[in-house]
Chain A
């Protein structure tokens, strides 16, 4: 049920949090023996990317956001891990399907579809909630990009 709270909360934690989580995940990656082998660069990239996203999801408030949940769930599925989520309303999915079936022909809905494909977990959200999640997602993404940029700059050889 979409809640009508007046101030939409789009606070994102500081970049320190993001940095910390990202460094953590990177360190976890380092532990893997096969990581530093130069042949499997593509795999490394993928892993780093995944680590970035997961750490971002965790840094951005764990499971309080739908997209972070979706990200974590996706990641967990790949690694067959069990992810513990707080109570999740299944009704959201149901509501969204019902409402979206009503007007798939609207221009706005097409755009919303594209957005849904982009934002993780977007398929289970109503449009209004989707937009809010997108806002938060954008904030977190930009924060993550900043952190990563900084790391890269810091670590690249002079």
Chain B
């Protein structure tokens, strides 16, 4: 899991770098850097792929259109150089549209990890695990968040400068943040006398600087709504949902609360630490009473607000964090285990889960027993083919991560003709081409003789409607002429490559 997060973050920095530079013009203007980033973007192919995907799904989002229009007006002057290959995907207007949409996506998606942006398209477009980003989207985050912040700061001409000012707070620690250099917004924040807001803006700003450009997003709304209504901002912070699994439970009366809440959650994710930023008070209570706990325990990575009337001991806070994490994951398990919905309470649910796991393991054992007693003659044909393929693989000697290849091969479901086998094999597998060619004839001759049996095999299995016939043929056929793809997920790919 850590690796997954690591992987997600690894790929993400390149794409968001654009936005980072946009918001942190140290020497040159934001516009110039933005324009500079365009050719970089064009050159950077892997992030571009993600942009493609993001764009392709963003096009499906209707909100993007309206935001695009809003943002177009604000940013049209900024974008100078077009990104060439984006024209394929941008139905809504070339380079400008792409960059704008990308920025919108980043800005609007604070509440979710940036992996989500890519995660949603991933799940839509690439069903297998070949995607760069494996994070699933349980449900698309409230996209409405996207629309709201833009309306706020699209009309703000000087937000770039403010963003620049914000960005000068580069450190990550929440403690002892001074409010140097930001009299305007911070003054208003401080004047309300709430500790939390003071620490929040630097915290958010701190996020802006280093790795994640999405981190910079919280800055912008923090800067912008700040002059509007500090009280609102307080409410935003307080209304951060406790559990990670909660989406936006608040009605999100005003756009900024939800936005900042998502900012908080984004903040949480990016911390990546065990401790995260939480606002655990009773939400309604907080909203009504507008009560803040002044005694926020100064931690490096967590901001866990103590509940009313509860100990602010760091131990108990950490304990609560842990417990909530566990609770949230139990909810995940609940969906998985059938019949767990009625049972409430951790202990009983755990019992159910344990029983379920035990039953599954027993099933595996039972089935393996059955398999061992099965008539093995049919499998032998398959085995021979697989054996030859194994020999091929061992000769090649390389462990190729071919999840992409796998996708292709599975998509070529026509294994009826050997010519198609040829084509799929040759088209997919570059590396093993030479040994493949040498062994192909022998394999295929064997494949010919075995094909009837294999088709019988697949027929019988497909009767049970578990696999489609094509799938089975592909599986078995892949055994004939293809390597076993070590179907590691893309995260693994990154690690091991």
Q: Which A residues fall within an 8 A CB radius of B? A: 1-11, 13-17, 19-21, 23-24, 26-28, 30-31, 36, 41, 44-45, 48-49, 52-53, 58-59, 61-65, 86-87, 89, 99, 107-108, 111-112, 114-115, 118-119, 127-129, 131-132, 134-135, 137-139, 141-142, 144-157
- Contact B375 A21, beta carbon cutoff 8 Å: no
Q: Does B184 contact A (CB under 8 A)?
A: no
- Nearest-neighbour CB distance to chain B for A59, whole angstroms, equals 6
**A9 / chain B contacts, CB cutoff of 8 Å:** 1, 4, 134-136
Give 29 pairs: A residue, B residue, CB < 8 Å, sorted on A. A4-B272, A4-B275, A6-B269, A7-B119, A7-B136, A10-B336, A11-B129, A13-B128, A13-B129, A16-B410, A16-B474, A20-B487, A30-B376, A58-B486, A64-B491, A86-B495, A108-B326, A114-B350, A118-B358, A118-B361, A131-B332, A132-B1, A137-B357, A146-B466, A147-B466, A148-B368, A155-B371, A155-B379, A157-B375
Contact B325 A49 (CB under 8 A): no
CA of A59 to CA of B129, assembled, Å: 11
A16 to B373 alpha-carbon distance, docked (Å): 23
Structural contact, A155 and B375, CB atoms closer than 8 A: yes
- Interface of chain B residues 361 through 410 with chain A (CB within 8 A): 361, 363-365, 367-376, 378-380, 382-383, 386-387, 390, 410
Contact at B357–A115, with CB atoms within 8 Å?
yes
Beyond A6-B268, A61-B489, A151-B461, is A138–B367 a contact (Cβ under 8 Å)? no
* Docked-complex contact B332 and A132, CB < 8 angstroms: yes
List, in ascending order, chain B residues with CB within 8 A of A154's CB.
457, 460-461, 463-464
In the assembled complex, B347 has its CB within 8 A of some CB on chain A: yes
Contact A16 B273 (CB under 8 A): no
B185 to chain A, nearest CB (A): 27
A64 touching B271 in the complex, CB below 8 Å, given contacts A150-B464, A154-B461: no
Expressed in whole angstroms, the Cα–Cα distance for A1 and B487 within the complex equals 26
How many angstroms from the CA of A41 to the CA of B368 in the assembled complex? 11
Judge whether B5 is part of the interface by a CB distance below 8 angstroms: yes
Assuming A16-B410, A87-B495, what are 8 further A-B pairs, CB within 8 angstroms?
A7-B112, A49-B368, A58-B487, A132-B329, A138-B360, A144-B364, A148-B367, A152-B371
B115 near A: Cβ within 8 Å? yes
Asked if residues B478 and A20 are in contact (CB atoms below 8 Å), the reply is yes
Residue of A nearest to B335 (CB): A135
Please determine whether B379 and A26 come into contact, CB atoms closer than 8 angstroms: yes
> What's the Cα separation between A147 and B269 when bound, in Å?
36
Is A49 a contact partner of B365 (Cβ separation < 8 A)? yes
Taking CB atoms, residues of chain B closer than 8 Å to A99 are 322
Q: Cα distance A122–B147 when bound, in Å?
A: 44
Residues of A within 8 A of B134 (CB): 9, 11
Q: How far is the CA of A34 from the CA of B397 in the complex (A)?
A: 27
Min CB distance, B73 to chain A, in Å?
Answer: 32
A74 to B95, CA, bound (A): 53
CB-based closest 3 A-B pairs: A154-B461, A111-B350, A27-B386
Residue of B330, B410, B487 with most chain A CB atoms under a 10 A cut-off: B487
Structural contact, B347 and A64, CB atoms closer than 8 A: no
Q: Are A24 and B360 CB-contacts (below 8 A) given A45-B372, A108-B350?
A: no
Set of chain A residues within 8 Å of B336, measured between Cβ atoms: 10, 135, 138-139
| Interfacial chain A residues near B138, Cβ < 8 Å | 7
- Residues in B with CB closer than 8 Å to A129 are 1
Interface residue ranges of B330-355 to A (CB < 8 Å)? 330, 332-333, 336-337, 346-347, 350-351, 353-354
Cβ distance A11 to chain B, nearest Cβ, rounded Å: 5
Contacting residue for A141 out of B333, B361, B382, B386, CB 8 A: B361
Q: Are B487 and A17 in contact (CB under 8 A)?
A: yes
A150 to B475 Cα, complex, angstroms: 14
Q: Is B113 an interface residue (CB 8 A)?
A: yes
Contact B333 A138 (CB under 8 A): yes
**A21 contact from B273, B337, B367, B484, Cβ within 8 A:** B484
Taking a contact as CB atoms under 8 Å apart, the answer to whether B372 and A48 are in contact is yes
B322 to chain A: which residues have CB within 8 Å?
99, 127-128
Instruction: Check if B74 is an interface residue, CB within 8 A of chain A.
Output: no
For B357, what are the chain A residues with a Cβ–Cβ distance below 8 Å?
A: 115, 118-119, 134, 137-138, 141
Which listed residue (B325, B332, B375) contacts A156, Cβ 8 A? B375
Judged by a CB distance under 8 angstroms, whether B313 is at the interface is: no
Residues of A within 8 A of B471 (CB): 16
Interface centre among B112, B476, B488 (most CB of A within 10 A): B488
Q: How far is the CA of A152 from the CA of B329 in the complex (A)?
A: 34
Tell me if B492 is interfacial: C-beta within 8 Å of chain A: yes
Please, which residues of chain A bring their CB within 8 A of the CB of B135? 5, 7, 9
Give A138 to B330 CA distance when docked, in angstroms.
13
1/0 per position for B264-287, CB-CB distance to A under 8 A? Answer: 010011011111100000000000
User: Are A1 and B364 also in contact (CB < 8 A) when A89-B2, A138-B357 are?
Assistant: no
Contact B460 A62 (CB under 8 A): no
Q: Is B488 a contact partner of A61 (Cβ separation < 8 A)?
A: yes
